[in-house]
Amino acid sequence: MGQRKGEGLAAKISRPVINLNPNVLSVLSLVMAGVGGLMYYRSGNFLLLAFLAILVSAYLDAADGQAARHQGIVSKKGDLLDHFFDRYSDVLMVVGIGLSTYSNPYLCIGALEGILMTSYMGTQAQALGLERDYAGPLGRAYRLVVIMAAALLQFLLPYSYQWIFTINVTAIALLWFFIGGNFTAIYRFARAYRKL
């Protein structure tokens, strides 16, 4: 089968599951995110399983929208379901990471706040009649890449340094979610405010 004109990377990699029910893909993505968070929590060699589970979750999350478009069943209900599961996926992953031996609950809370505010401001713009805002440095696809990289690097570089808190790859990723997430949320707020 030749490459379709104008077909993007997401469409290409989604081909194997393009005919499956998009809602099933969304549920499976959520389940794999939960598995990824649990594996990160278990730490040590389980970090490799965390990496793989989150990779599969990200793949399914990208594929569900592609499947809906391919099958001509894009709907507001599907979009709502996707965002609903995405937020739970974020929470399951970050809580697993934040409660692992590489982090502490304070970093976990800060990371969750940054991530949820980022997502909230993107959808709040849409709720006010503007376009859904994906701008800023901490969009969901980027966060998933950071989490996967953190799992892999934490496995390869299992070193920690004591300062105000334990500093390692995981702690840096969570701190970035807090700082970058709040920056992104404020940036999206300012963009929406100007447009309104």
Residue 92 contacts residue 33 (beta carbons within 8 Å):
yes
With the C-alpha atoms ordered 148, 9, 57, 121, is the resulting torsion angle positive or negative?
A: positive
Print pLDDT tens along the chain (196 aa). 334 444 577 778 888 888 899 999 999 999 999 999 999 999 999 999 999 999 999 999 999 988 988 899 998 898 899 999 999 999 999 999 999 999 988 999 999 999 999 999 999 998 999 999 999 989 899 999 999 999 999 999 998 888 877 899 999 999 999 999 999 999 999 999 999 8
Cβ-based neighbours of 43, under 8 Å, separated by 6 or more: 100, 101, 102
pLDDT at 2: 39
Domains and CATH numbers, the chain: 10-195 (1.20.120.1760)
CA distance 99 to 146: 17
